[in-house]
Amino acid sequence: MWRYIKSAFLVSADVPALGRVPVNILLASGFVILGFAQPAFWFLGAAVEATLVTALAFNPRFQKYVEAQHLQLAKDDAGSKRQGLTGPYPVAFARVSEARQQPGYEMQQRARRLPQPADGRLHH
């Protein structure tokens, strides 16, 4: 549940000139600034933020969105770990590994194992 609340507070929107802007943080900052002029805005801001974050965090559609993001991050992390496994090996091993994945690799290996004539010419 904490993940949904955190994601609801940090939800951001795409703004053409600014990029991704965290809406709730911007709204909370606005209420904090207005609260210095009139302290009632602090209470109003706290109520608005609590309502918005709670409504968003308990929304089943938003929860599915957060789960999808979490699964995508886990998938990306697994891919980077898989890439990291070949990191400590020398470049030659990486090239061999890539070559083995190419089509026709097995046929090339079998052809190399065939006996070659002594003069290097093929006889029919």
**pLDDT tens digits, residue range 70-84?**
888 777 766 666 666
Q: Is residue 112 domain-resident?
A: no
For 18, the domain range is 2-85
pLDDT (average), residues 20-46: 93
Q: Is residue 26 domain-resident?
A: yes
Burial of 56 (0-12, 13-18, 19+ CB in 10 A): buried
Q: How many domains does the chain have?
A: 1
Q: Is residue 49 domain-resident?
A: yes
Q: Is residue 7 domain-resident?
A: yes
Q: Which two tokens stand for residue 5?
A: 């609340």
Q: Is residue 33 domain-resident?
A: yes
Is 86 a residue whose pLDDT tops 60?
A: no
Q: Is residue 76 domain-resident?
A: yes
What is the reported pTM?
0.54
Do 1 and 57 touch, CB atoms closer than 8 A? yes
pLDDT of res. 1: 85
pLDDT (average), residues 103-123: 71
Binning pLDDT at 50, 70 and 90, where does residue 87 land?
A: low
